[in-house]
Structure 1
Amino acid sequence: MHLSPLPLSERVNLDSAKRADFVKKLHEQVRINIERRTDQIAQRVNKGRQRMVFEPGDWMWMHLHKERFPVQRPNKLLPRGDGPFQVLKRINDNAYKLDLPAAYNVSATFNDLSPFLADDEADLRTNPFQEEGNDTNQYVPFDKVRVPLGPVTRALAKRLREELQGLVREV
């Protein structure tokens, strides 16, 4: 028995022209359903993504793939990005030509870029391991009654423990 999208009763009564029209309409409905479903999936997948289009003169970080940059990134512990490099030409919304040094010895066209944010635009977190630096999880000074705000980091937990030990000694 051969399975077909046409019901058995209609298969007997339809001539070839009507059958061809029916199949064409069926194909059109299937195509519309596939496009609609594809749009729904794309909308769900791209929900949190932000469309970024760069112009010539913008500064970018490029991603160093191990396959494309074996000399610059021979192992996974080296930095993943390099730059900033200036965009020379916008090829399309996803591909850009960068001003690369000759030492890279690769094509200057990329599509895996991140924007370079200058210090005034960037998140101004400093390295907590530097002597003069501090982290964004800053300790909020408190007296004997107040509790610090924000997440409890190791440094804050140590400080709380010291404060508690000091209170116990006073009592």
Structure 2
Amino acid sequence: MNCMGRVFSKIDLKSGYHQIRMREGDEWKTTFKTKYGLYEWLVMPFGLTNAPSTFMRLMNHVLPAFIGKFVVVYFDDILVYSKTLEDHLDHLRSVVSVLRSRKLYANLHKCSFCTDQITFPGYVVSAKGVEVDKEKVKAIRDWPTPKSTSDVRSFHGLASFYRRFVKDFSTIAAPLTELIKKNMSFRWGSDQDKAFIYIQEKLSSAPLLALPNFAKAFEIECDASGIGIGAVLMQERRPIAYFSEKLSGVSLNYPTYDKEMYALVRVLET
């Protein structure tokens, strides 16, 4: 999405996965047993390994002319953005026309039209930029101190969703990441407590990230520490996204200059 978005709409496809028909002859692969007998799905159910990629492939096939120009798709949510209301109405007509022709149906109660700010998905998007969803961050801020590996994994998963807003997230979260490794016993100490509280504080005061303008130059700043690398993507000194990664194996022994170069390579790959 470029920074020219001023008007936004969100189209929510109703039970998106269920709008894809199972291939004829493969229905038996979804058979499940109940006390009333055996049943099989005629449409794609939630939970199949390839369901997410299948659905996104459908969206990319249906809306290729619009994606990257005035449409962003995240599974069954379709974001339409435009510079002016007049353009936006034209864009909406184009998208809705294609959805109608492909017999893809929306849930009107979950759609939003012609607003200057919209939540999509888990982010608040406006002409100013991208912010964290306050409700999601409240859940992180109010999260009780983890008492088990499962608690840490749940917290880490939610916080990681917003890692692009936190400089050096991977390095900060390293004490928590160690706890969720396979065969690692749960042991909550001062390092874990500091990381947990720091992440809560950083996300509670997360910055407004700029929307990229592909007509302008981008800047990347990289840094490295003993255990991790980080970078920030910017335009006109405004951050667009933060990147971070915890080092492992031989990369831990790189000299600082090489770690910073490695950070540049990784952020470009990402």
- Normalised by the size of structure 2, how large is the TM-score? 0.21
Higher normalized helix content (fraction of residues): 2
Q: Which has the higher contact order (CA 8 A, sep 6+)?
A: 2
